[in-house]
Amino acid sequence: MKQKIIMKLLTGMAGLGIALGVATAHASPEQDKQNLIKYFTSKYPNVKIDDYVYGALAFDPDSKAQYDAIMEFPPFDSQIDAGRKLWETPFKNGKTYADCLPNGGKQIAGNYPMFDEAKGKVVTLEDAINDCRVANGEAPFKLSDPKTIGLLTAYMRTLSDGMIMNVKVQGPKAMAAYEEGKNMFFRRTGQLNFACATCHIQNAGTRLRSEVLSPVIGQAVHWPVFRGGDNLVTLQGRYTGCFKMIRAVPPAEDSTAMNDLEYFHSAMSNGLPMKASVFRK
């Protein structure tokens, strides 16, 4: 039965006729998420859904214990402090990011990415930060730069630590963007003929070489992450790395394709609390 479900997930990907478990094509985001939860709880009944915010660590108690020890004295505190300084430094006009973002930038990160009806596209948190810069006469940051917008976003997400993810998909245009992101998540590509779902649904909880593969549920709550010390990696930077690992040409970061992928991916973590500024291998 499980194999049949997986085959439904990983075949028949032409167009938008994608099925999540036993769901039909064009299922709502909530239906998609619930089908994934049903699949993972059936496959791993001893893992609590709330623990999926820890990614692969939910399946590996030893790695989780190492993570807990590292997080007592995070090796990247100085990087977060650098992000705080970027956040607090006024623009040339004297205003700050807190002046042009909702709620002063607090408890909002879990709403992103969101569909902007006026722009007719998905807007990420990084886009919102750059929009704020431009509105205040500053040049936008390069979105792939971990030392500027990466650090700034890492700090900003600490202002929403513990916020429940609440990515909304409302209206036909938003749903179309969500479906495009879902399609990309399940579409096989590259010389290895892998999809995101190959690793993070079909093989989640199993080992690839020495590492346990994380499940799609809960993945979006903790990015950007610090890997191997103070090396900051953004979510779309990780997408780029994954595309390259399966020998595929990645879409440009902040492209419509990447933002739609992040939109679907983030919606699958709705209902789980954000874990800002964390360590991952």
Give the Cα separation of 115 and 117 in Å (integer): 6
Structure tokens at 133: 């810069």
Strands, E assignment, 135-241: 207-208, 211-212, 225-227, 231-233
Handedness of CA 190, 198, 204, 161 (dihedral sign): positive
Three-state secondary structure call for residue 32:
helix
132 is catalytic: no
Handedness of CA 164, 119, 195, 226 (dihedral sign): negative
Q: Measured between alpha carbons, how far is residue 29 from residues 38, 109, 269 in Å?
A: 14, 19, 10
- Nearest CA-CA partner of 80 in 181, 154, 130, 29: 154
Mark residue 26 as left, alpha or beta (left: phi above 0; alpha: psi -120 to 50; beta: remaining).
left
Q: Measured between alpha carbons, how far is residue 112 from residues 91, 124, 188 in Å?
A: 24, 6, 26
- State the DSSP H helix or E strand holding residue 123, giving kind and residue range, or none if neither: strand 121-123
**Which residue, chain included where needed, has tokens 């909304």?**
168
**For residue 113, cis peptide bond before it (omega within 30 degrees of 0):** yes
Catalytic residue of the set 100, 132, 196, 242: 242
Question: Catalytic residue positions?
Answer: 242
